Copies of this chain bind each other. A is one copy, B any other.
Amino acid sequence: MNAIGVDVGGTKIAAGVVSPEGDILNEVRYPSAGPQERLLSTIGRAVNEVKNGFEVGGTCLAVPGTVSTAENKIIKAPNLHAIEGVPLKDELEKRTGLSTTVENDANAAAWGEFRFGAGSEATHLIFITLGTGVGGGVVSHGLLLRGAQGAGGEMGHITIQATGPRCGCGNHGCLEALASGTAIARRAREVASEKPDSALGRLAVERTVLGEDVAELAREGDEAARSVLEETGRWLGIGLAGFVNVFNPEVIAIGGGAARAGDLILDAARHEVHLRAMSPGRDLVEIKEASLGAQSGILGAAALARDPSSGEYVLGT
């Protein structure tokens, strides 16, 4: 049966009716601004509006935060404080009359890529999203790994260089601190000042260099910009090599804004995995771009709403 997936982001709410085959039959978007009551009302309206006569079995909300099943609430949502502590399942069921579950957004996206995207042929998938931070999720033996409290899958927060730069989580040398979009921008500033005559260096004099600038300059052949992405890819690969040894996945799918740099980052990551991971896992794993883009959240959430066997973790029951 169809299901509704809702991607609750820091700036927008996107709700879609999704078919069992992964087609989005209807979609609505709203800004996610406002205090708690207004936000809940907007999510409820998005669900009711997108439903629009479609027969629907349930809803799953993909939310940008650390969820805790044990405490039945969202523990932390640094980019959407308004949902912290809210019993989202109860609130949404009251407003929509639809059976509702809640999932961390990166876990939902991982499930989307597993069911309909880069991992649709796999049984074991790691999904990594390179954005402002580094998130992700794991599907192992066909099961979404949430852990005891639903707080698992924080793939950006493994230490890969204990003496490395401080991470937003408080730790030092996390994968996120070394391979996120934020790390790319920081590295770009450093390289720009070391190589003022490069295209990257010249741009940095004019204005703040963004992650997408680095990718564009690298594509145009600027060696300084390339070196920034390659170094990022090496750090990414150091983290991925550990995941290969621990999870022995068939596919590692890389999504998020910084992944748009594609092989400019991924080739260095693949090389590092080959150097650092063990056989036979390193020979099997395919490291590739995620294929669903921004729709992975809606698609994954809908698939989780539809398939309770993959959705044992239910916030608010």
Identify the A interface with B (CB < 8 A): 66, 68, 70-71, 75-76, 122-124, 138, 140-141, 143, 145-155, 157-163, 169-173, 235, 238-239, 241-243, 245-250, 275-281, 284, 312
Contacts and interface: CB of A to CB of B under 8 A. Distances in A.
A241 B159 contact: yes
A168 B257 CA distance: 36
29 contacts: A66-B278, A66-B280, A71-B280, A124-B147, A140-B143, A140-B145, A141-B312, A143-B143, A145-B246, A145-B247, A146-B248, A147-B247, A147-B249, A147-B281, A148-B248, A148-B250, A149-B281, A151-B280, A152-B247, A154-B281, A155-B246, A157-B246, A158-B243, A158-B246, A159-B242, A161-B161, A169-B278, A170-B276, A172-B276
Identical subunits present:
2
The secondary structure that dominates the A interface is loop
Given A124-B147, A157-B245, A158-B245, 7 more contacts: A71-B280, A75-B280, A148-B248, A158-B243, A159-B239, A159-B276, A172-B276
A278 B151 contact: yes
A140 B147 contact: yes
Contacts of A66: 278-280
Contact of A281 (B140, B152, B158, B278): B152
Contact of A141 (B123, B143, B157, B172): B143
A280 B157 contact: no
Contacts of A148: 122-124, 248-250, 281, 284
A278 B248 contact: no
B248 A281 contact: no
A184 B226 CA distance: 40
